[in-house]
Amino acid sequence: MLKKGVERKEVLRALGEVFRAHGYEGASLTLITEATGLGKGSLYHLFPGGKEQMAAEVLADIDGWFELNIYAPLRDANDPARAIAAMIAGVDQYFHSGDRVCLVGLVALGSARDTFAETVDDYFARWQVALAQLLRRSGLSRSQAQRRAEDALLTIQGALVLARARNDAGIFRRALSDLMARLLAP
Amino acid sequence: MLKKGVERKEVLRALGEVFRAHGYEGASLTLITEATGLGKGSLYHLFPGGKEQMAAEVLADIDGWFELNIYAPLRDANDPARAIAAMIAGVDQYFHSGDRVCLVGLVALGSARDTFAETVDDYFARWQVALAQLLRRSGLSRSQAQRRAEDALLTIQGALVLARARNDAGIFRRALSDLMARLLAP
DNA sequence: CAGACACTGTACCGATCGGTACAGAGAGTC
DNA sequence: GACTCTCTGTACCGATCGGTACAGTGTCTG
């Protein structure tokens, strides 16, 4: 028998990588069974809702990671500069310095977008709010803070796309370092 | 009989929209026949190479549009400010102010990336070079110009992703207008 | 009008899709 | 050891996948 909590997390991690590599529609059950090491029987026992439930839980898992490691620290921070540096470091770590794709962005672009529209919107919205509020506390106006936070999210997404398109992780590194400077500017 | 050149262009346009909406793997032949109004017979007569040839020609068609409407004007420009404004306007027009997705970026993120890696890389590389050379002519250093051009491409891609994810075309508009200012800064 | 040739609709192919049914394996409880 | 309940491998389902074969149909050339 499985240690339910632990094992499920590991399955979700493997599922995430499959979805990242092939997109929602491209991730066939064959690929999924290979990546997870679980047969269809186990898979549909764990996720009675099928592929859609798998993807939903993977997205929720990702959301949870960002909530814990990015959004909450942003909200709780006293020192803006430190908090922003921590966010940049967390993002760099999560995306493996540009090697890893953003599943939320990938879903947003594909035709599965409508199915997960709320989750996708929420992921970015909460990030933007948390970052914007931090920037406000550092002295920016409400609208400036919002715009700058929007710019940050967009830069990260764009850097991931371009890094992958050009197969050059340096793009991601440079974008993050520029972004940090831009966020901290007076 | 068809006016070959004209008709083929129209088919490619329809194909492009299908690929944009569903991605390369998600664009089934059923969807393609519906979008183009052509049966399988016609489709495989026009594109003996199947789906892969269709996608390749669509990408080549897009590349051609950008070469004509974006890259070449960038290369031939005397007035940098005017040229950059024209580029921004062209981009805004092409992407329907953020409603339309970038197929090249979409392919880059999906698993069809390897198949079209060279085309994808080339698309961005030529854009970046054309823009960077213009920026050099406007007085920037080589490395500054390159970085700023990279930032421009990445901003456009990121804005498209975020605009779609949050279903807010305003994001794209704002990003383009900020980008213009950033490109023209001394 | 005859023949050539570009084009198209339909039937069909094997493979794979997401999903289901179910018998049984394995571990925990009494 | 009998029973329960979670978990899993396998066979199978109808639908759809990308692609092929081919007999047309229409149009242009001689």
Decide: B156 and B175 in contact? Cβ < 8 Å. yes
- For residue A148, give Cα distances in angstroms to A144, A181, A182: 6, 12, 8
Question: What is the distance between the alpha carbons of residues B149 and A36, in angstroms, rounded to a whole number?
Answer: 41
Nearest CA to CA, how far is B62 from chain A (Å)?
Answer: 16
pLDDT of residue A2: 46
* Average pLDDT, integer, range A145-160: 98
Q: Is the CB of B167 less than 8 angstroms away from the CB of A26?
A: no
pLDDT of residue B6: 60
To test the contact with chain B by mutation, choose from A154, A171, A183 the residue with the greatest count of B C-beta atoms within 10 A, namely A154
Which bases of chain C are contacted by protein, using any atom under 7 A from a CB? 6-11, 16-23, 27-28
B121 touches chain A (CB under 8 A): yes
User: Roughly how many angstroms between the first and final C-alpha of chain B, as a whole number?
Assistant: 56
A173 touches chain B (CB under 8 A): no
Q: Domain B50-184 is in which class?
A: mainly alpha
Q: Is the CB of A167 less than 8 angstroms away from the CB of B117?
A: yes
Q: Is the CB of A166 less than 8 angstroms away from the CB of B25?
A: no
Please write the tens of the pLDDT for every residue from A2-20.
445 558 999 999 999 999 9
Tell me the pLDDT band of A1, cut-offs 50, 70 and 90. Answer: very low
Nearest CA to CA, how far is A160 from chain B (Å)?
Answer: 8
Binned average pLDDT, 10 residues per bin, chain B of 186 residues: 67 96 94 95 95 97 98 97 98 97 95 93 98 97 98 98 97 98 93
pLDDT of residue B5: 59
Cβ neighbors of B82 (< 8 A, separation 6 or more) are none
Q: How is chain B classified by DSSP, letter by letter?
A: ---HHHHHHHHHHHHHHHHHHHHHHH--HHHHHHHH---HHHHHHH-TTHHHHHHHHHHHHHHHHHIIIIIHHHHH-S-HHHHHHHHHHHHHHHTGGGTS--HHHHHHHSGGGTTTHHHHHHHHHHHHHHHHHHHHHTT--HHHHHHHHHHHHHHHHHHHHHHHHTT-HHHHHHHHHHHHHHHH--
Q: How far is CA A91 from the centre of its chain?
A: 8
**Which residue is closest, via its CA, to the C1' of C27?**
A1
User: Could you tell me the distance in Å between the CA of residue B39 and the C1' of nucleotide D20?
Assistant: 14
Please choose, from the candidates A104, A23, A107, A114, the residue with its C-alpha nearest in 3D space to the C-alpha of residue A64.
Answer: A104
Q: Is the CB of A154 less than 8 angstroms away from the CB of B166?
A: no
pLDDT of residue A65: 97
Please choose, from the candidates A18, A45, A28, the residue with its C-alpha nearest in 3D space to the C-alpha of residue A106.
Answer: A18
Please write the tens of the pLDDT for every residue from A81-101.
999 999 999 999 999 999 999
Type of residue found at B61: D
Q: Is the dihedral of CA A121, A126, A127, A133 positive or negative?
A: positive
B104 touches chain A (CB under 8 A): yes
> Is A52-184 a CATH 2.20.25.90 domain?
no
Question: What nucleotide is nearest B52 when CA is compared to C1'?
Answer: D18
Please write the tens of the pLDDT for every residue from A29-58.
999 999 999 999 999 999 999 999 999 999
Please write the tens of the pLDDT for every residue from A59-78.
999 999 999 999 999 999 99
Decide: B104 and B126 in contact? Cβ < 8 Å. no
Question: What is the distance between the alpha carbons of residues B91 and B94, in angstroms, rounded to a whole number?
Answer: 5
Cβ neighbors of B113 (< 8 A, separation 6 or more) are A164, A165, B107, B120
Using the CB atoms, write b or e for B48-81: b if 16+ within 10 Å.
eeebeebbebbbebbbeebeebbbebbeebeebe
pLDDT of residue A39: 93
Burial class (CB in 10 A: 0-12, 13-18, 19+), A4: exposed
Mean pLDDT, chain A, as a whole number? 95
- Tell me which residue has tokens 């807010």: B168
pLDDT of residue A182: 96
List chain A domain ranges.
52-184
Which bases of chain D are contacted by protein, using any atom under 7 A from a CB? 6-11, 16-23, 27-28
